Amino acid sequence: MLSHSSTNGRTPGSPRRVVVTGIGAVTPLGLNAADTWAGIRANRCGVGPITVFDASRFETRIAAEVHGFDFAKLAAPPGVAEVLDRKNSFGYAAALEAMADAGLADAGALSRGKFAEGGYSFDPLRFGLSLGTEGRRDSLLPELAARKLLPANAAERKQRLAEVPRSEYLRYSPYGLAFALSTAFDLRGPSSTISTACTSSSQALGYALRRIRSGDADMMLAGGAESLMEPTQVAGFILLGALSKRNDDPQRASRPFDAERDGFVLAEGAAMLVLEDAWHAYRRGARIYAELAGFGASINSYRLTDSPPDGEGPMLAMQAALADAGVRPEEVDYINAHGTSTLQNDASETTAIKRCFGPQAQAIPVSSTKSMTGHMVNAAGAIEAILSLLAMRDGYLPPTINYERADPACDLDYIPNRGRAAQVKVAVSNSFGFGGSNGSVVLRAYPEK
């Protein structure tokens, strides 16, 4: 068990650097991080017809769903399984993988709430949690109505609602996943659940970074989970005019930066990272993927669903992230773009990159892996950070598939259709969300010694 001291043997006053020591993912391309990355490298697209519910009457009938996920195999401890709806189950599975990948225990031991079996015994008081997610209380209404728990009479309605099991609320609450993970893994450090739409898990990484740097924690489990595969959510995005309508050609529907893009493709899944103080990781002999070197955030104050044409907000987030990391624009080797495949936002991000990086922007490879995964919304920032880490590890830049016709408003190197080999020492991953929230993270190669 580690000491509760925040210095952990380093020279007093020296900065705490934060590294990634574990990753886990459940995505439309695979049920773990390795299979997801293999899908990316194979240019595989996870978009297809919606099957979770009957979308036959919807204007958009395609999405990037998770297939083959066995909820029964989670084997969650008592008290945890009751809050694992579809979204939280993805998050729980990704967290199991990330914890095991970080050498904390094997996945089987973790699912039984045991950490010392074949893994490192950490101090739960210095292990925190930072999640990008949100509640789905509107999902609860149909179930309550089906159970006739919402009668017209107010007194009877109050009595009936009091009879609803606690799990019915927790499953759809914004804090359900945090409860599940903290309970299952005995995490008792700083905790936060962040809901800023498409920027949620990016900001969750930023929060975790700050908590470790400040000395409040030595380790943080950070990431996001999402499943919007229900009629009310899909209908809402259709009404906003945000979704692609390429129902007859789903594999080519997500086409970031392409001139014929017509909207994004909803996706589901989860992605989790174990973040750790570098000295702490060194002391326990952990494998390090890279350093989470910087985070920057801003808000647009423009429109609810669109980024500003001048790219001001996204540019400010990128500039803040680079400054936080102490990285010069010319040091950046790759940008994993937010790149949703919407007309205005792809153009805005292109402008933001050019304003942030100046002439250097034309020389930086940029790609949107949403062309393959779809848009995982609350989990998007975390999965794209993981894909950026793997790009650094393998020296491989993932492509933007379905890029067929150039848009004059989008004139950067988007790594069209085929990935390429390249050494990546510094990567930037962008997330820009509804409501105007922006977040950028900087990942930097970390020396082995």
Of 220, 248, 283, the residue at which a domain comes to its end is: 283
**Does 265 share its domain with 412?**
no
Query: Whose CA is closest to 437, among 300, 294, 302?
Result: 300
What pLDDT, on the 0 to 100 scale, is given for residue 2?
A: 34
Q: Are residues 84 and 104 in the same domain?
A: yes
pLDDT in tens, 171-190: 667 788 999 999 989 899 99
| 29-43, 76-90, 279-293, 429-443, range with the lowest pLDDT | 76-90
3-17, 150-164, 167-181, 342-356, range with the lowest pLDDT: 3-17
Picking from 251, 283, 315, the residue at the C-terminal end of a domain is: 283
Q: Are residues 271 and 123 in the same domain?
A: yes
Q: What is the pLDDT of residue 52?
A: 94
User: Is residue 2 situated within a structural domain?
Assistant: no
Tell me what pLDDT residue 112 has. 54
Task: Compute the distance between CA of residue 407 and CA of residue 262 in angstroms, rounded to an integer.
Answer: 13
What is the predicted pLDDT for the residue at 139?
A: 52
Q: Which of 45, 280, 356, 375 is catalytic?
A: 375
Q: Which of 45, 198, 356, 410 is catalytic?
A: 198
How confident is the model at residue 1, as a pLDDT? 30
Identify which has the larger pLDDT, 331 or 449: 331
In this structure, is residue 84 part of a structural domain?
yes
Same domain assignment for residues 146 and 189: yes
Q: For 234-253, what is each residue's pLDDT tens digit? A: 998 998 899 999 999 999 99
Is residue 346 located within the same domain as residue 411? yes
Residue 158 belongs to some domain of the structure: yes
- Which candidate in 45, 280, 338, 356 is catalytic? 338
Torsion-angle region of 13 (φ positive above 0: left; ψ -120 to 50: alpha; else: beta): left
Q: Does residue 381 belong to any structural domain of this protein? A: yes
Query: What pLDDT does 167 receive?
Result: 61
Do 133 and 189 lie in a common domain? yes
Has residue 288 been placed in a domain? no
Q: What CATH number corresponds to the domain at position 405?
A: 3.40.47.10
> What is the span of the domain harbouring residue 392?
295-444
This prediction has a pTM of 0.90
Note whether 92 and 218 are same-domain residues: yes
Are 420 and 318 contained in the same domain? yes
For 290-344, what is each residue's pLDDT tens digit? 999 999 999 988 777 778 889 999 999 999 999 999 999 999 999 999 999 999 9
246, 360: one domain:
no
- What contacts 34, CB < 8 A, 6 or more positions away? none
Catalytic residue flag (residue 338)? yes
Whole-number average pLDDT of the chain: 89
Is residue 127 domain-shared with residue 245, that is, in the same domain? yes
pLDDT of residue 159: 66
Distance of alpha carbon 267 from alpha carbon 280, whole angstroms? 35
Answer for the pair 283, 324: CB distance below 8 angstroms, yes or no: no
**Tens digit of pLDDT for each residue in 377-433?**
999 999 999 999 999 999 999 999 999 999 999 999 999 999 999 999 999 999 998
Residue 321: inside a domain: yes
Q: Mark whether 96 and 213 lie in a shared domain.
A: yes
User: Residue 154: is it exposed, middle or buried by C-beta count within 10 angstroms (0-12/13-18/19+)?
Assistant: exposed
pLDDT in tens, 81-105: 888 889 999 999 999 999 999 998 7
Answer whether residue 363 shows pLDDT above 70.
yes
- Is residue 350 a part of any domain in this protein? yes
**How many domains, in total, are found in the chain?**
2
Residue 77's pLDDT band (cuts 50, 70, 90): confident
Lowest-confidence region among 9-13, 48-52, 60-64: 9-13
Do 181 and 141 fall into the same domain?
Answer: yes
Model confidence over 190-209: pLDDT tens digits?
Answer: 999 999 989 999 999 999 99
Note whether residue 346 is domain-resident: yes
Last residue of a domain, one of 220, 254, 283: 283
What pLDDT band is residue 140 in, cutting at 50, 70 and 90?
very low
What is the dihedral angle through the alpha carbons of 275, 277, 283, 285, rounded to the nearest 10 degrees?
A: 30
Query: What is the model's pLDDT at position 246?
Result: 98
Mean pLDDT on 113-130: 76
pLDDT of residue 134: 81
